[in-house]
A and B are shown apart, each in its own frame.
Chain A
Amino acid sequence: MTTNPKPLTMNPSYLAMVRGTRELHQLLAQGKDDSPEADAVRDRTDGPWQVLSEVERNRVRNLSEDLYSLTEPSRPQRPMNSQAQAKLLEAFEARERGEWDRALDLLRRWQAYIEPSLVSYLRGSIWLEAGDPDTAAIFYRHALELDPTNGNYHAMALYCLNLSDPLAALQEATEILKDPEKSSAGVVARAADITLMSARLKSGTEADQTFHQLEPILANTIARMEKGDPNEFDRTTYVTLLSLSGFGYEFLGNTQAALALYSAALQIDPTNDALYVARGMLLYGTSGRAITDLEIAMQYGTPLVWPYVMLAHHHLLAGRFEESRKLSEQAIRVGGSAAVMSEVWEWMAIAQTHLGFPADVIRASFDNAIRLDPSNERAKRNVAAFESATRPISWQTRSIGAVRISALAERRYAMAAA
């Protein structure tokens, strides 16, 4: 049985220690070993250091040692041999299992046999997966400094920068997009992603303008990839570019263009749950294909809440109350905004009523709906209808179109905030 590797548990003292150690190394790199700033960092890290476990202390010591590699001249690389290759493989496997310290130890021990830029790149990937994008960003940036032509290094450095310092990432993305031909398709895709995500929190006009500027860049980069060497074709980047274009068109209200791009992306990556969700949401209420797409996304175990929400609504309207109730339960488990969860609890209450659940269970569901969103007047009317003696109850539920429009809007802001 395989399990997903768990990120490191990082308590406030550990985080303060790591942050201080990174800051100290910036000062050491400037020759400020004896400066008041360096002493201030040492003072600031004394308290956190005292409460760290021995495992955490070793992790910080080793991180500090690895940070020296950012500024010290690389030692001459030794020729790769079978033992070093086996150890490198062990490091990969340790990373896959989430044994972050062991993976980093192996890299440190055998780094003399590995290209220095690759060592930094691998360190970045381990720290990123271990849940420390700030540290990862430093190592990815170093990998890029050592090998500026490596688009993958640049894309990952930008990705991590966006996690640790979104404003700086947006500035770098803007620079990249001024002259996109200079960068690899992967870097352009990452820069466009960062720009588009930030645009969605702006006013409608500004956001539209941003996508209008991005549209030719994305189209040209897609074309560049299609004309490029088939042996070097990067499917992931291609799908990302198609998806971003699709999302941009969706944002501008050009549903047909968005659907065409999502479909094209699905042809390349037919197990991409997010693309099925995107297409299914756009088609909801206009094509039976929507239901299939949303169901496929669920089958692929999508972490997104929308398929559960929309299918719960779909089955409720069709009178398939048990299916609706189960999907509502799944949606609640996945979680979403208070407004969305309020409506899902309301559907749950309606389905429970039709399924003959006890009145107190149904009331509890309505209570949850109103507690989560006190402005949900429809839920209040529905609970009033439930409490009245009149049967059959005339429920109020939102139309398919209304659910689609609000879900698309919610998804847009949820993605931008993520």
Chain B
Amino acid sequence: MPRVFRVMRKDADDKPTVSPTSLGVRSGTDVDLDPQNNVLVNGKGMSVAPNWRDINVNRIPKRLRPRLPGAGGSNNTFCFRAGLGLFQQGPFANGLTLEPDSATHGNVAPANVVPFATYEADLAATRPDWQEDET
């Protein structure tokens, strides 16, 4: 699994909250759907970065300002990491691929055309792989 970072909310077990704006996606915004409600395989997906410092400064929790000046995100969100591999195109988890679109950003996308619910479930299934990492 490639090493990726994402800012998300967390549940009591310190794992990311499964929701469209946390561990998940918004249809029509993060991914495109066909008329049958299948997710298009077009490189779009759940936004991730190879390092939390590469993420939009307005999303990085404010408490990290001493480490990253200007951080403007909510302190109710956390930087999570999953995987240890290289940040490059390839399999991410069951049914999912990493699709980098630059050296500092990529999307966790569906590997195949699947129903939106399946894609959501595949993303949710990665929940145990994520751990807080703000180092």
CB within 8 Å of B: which residues of A? Answer: 20-21, 24-25, 28, 33-34, 38-39, 41-43, 45-46, 49-50, 57, 60-65, 67-68
Contacts and interface: CB of A to CB of B under 8 A. Distances in A.
A21 B47 contact: no
Interface in B71-125: 71-76, 101-102, 104-105
Interface stretch (B11-19, B58-66, B127-135): B58-66
Contacts of A33: 62, 73-76
Given A50-B104, A61-B68, A65-B70, A41 B58 contact: yes
A45 B56 contact: yes
B21 interface: yes
Given A21-B70, A49-B58, A61-B68, 8 more contacts: A24-B58, A25-B72, A42-B58, A50-B102, A64-B71, A64-B72, A65-B69, A68-B65
A46 B70 contact: no
A interface, over-half SS = helix
25 contacts: A21-B57, A21-B72, A24-B58, A24-B72, A33-B73, A33-B74, A34-B74, A42-B56, A42-B73, A45-B58, A46-B56, A46-B59, A49-B58, A50-B56, A50-B105, A57-B57, A60-B57, A61-B69, A62-B69, A64-B57, A64-B58, A64-B72, A65-B70, A68-B65, A68-B70
- Greatest chain B CB density within 10 A among A25, A33, A41 is at A33
Contacts of B72: 21, 24-25, 28, 64
A38 B76 CA distance: 13
Contact of B74 (A21, A38, A57): A38
A385 B72 CA distance: 70
B70 A63 contact: yes
A62 B59 contact: no
Nearest to B70: A64
Given A41-B58, A45-B58, A34 B70 contact: no
Contacts of B73: 33, 42
Q: 4 tightest CB-CB pairs across the interface, nearest first?
A: A64-B70, A61-B70, A65-B69, A49-B56
Contacts of A38: 74
B47 to A, nearest CB: 7
* Interface SS majority for chain B: loop
A142 to B, nearest CB: 17
A371 B100 CA distance: 51
Nearest to A50: B105
B72 to A, nearest CB: 5
A42 B59 contact: yes
B56 to A, nearest CB: 4
Interface string B28-46: 0100000000000000000
Nearest to A64: B70
B90 to A, nearest CB: 21
A172 B58 CA distance: 32
Name, among A42, A63, A68, the residue most crowded by chain B CB atoms within 10 Å (CB to CB).
A42
Nearest to A34: B74
B120 to A, nearest CB: 19
B132 to A, nearest CB: 18
Nearest to B68: A61
Of the listed residues B62, B71, B74, B104, the one surrounded by the most CB atoms of chain A closer than 10 A to its CB is B74
A64 B69 contact: yes
Chain A CB within 10 Å, residue with most, of B21, B59, B68, B75: B59
A3 to B, nearest CB: 30
Contacts of A46: 47, 56, 59
B102 A49 contact: no
A337 to B, nearest CB: 43
A49 B102 CA distance: 12
* Central interface residue in A41, A46, A62, by most chain B CB within 10 Å: A46
A337 B62 CA distance: 50
A28 to B, nearest CB: 6
Nearest to B29: A43
B76 A61 contact: no
A60 B70 CA distance: 8
B110 to A, nearest CB: 20
A327 B65 CA distance: 57
Contacts of B69: 61-62, 64-65
B42 to A, nearest CB: 16
Contacts of B47: 46
B13 to A, nearest CB: 21
B58 A62 contact: no
A63 B74 CA distance: 18
A42 to B, nearest CB: 5
Contacts of A68: 65, 70
A26 to B, nearest CB: 11
Nearest to A61: B70
B52 to A, nearest CB: 13
B58 A34 contact: no
A139 to B, nearest CB: 15
Nearest to A59: B70
Nearest to B54: A57
Contacts of B57: 21, 49, 57, 60-61, 64
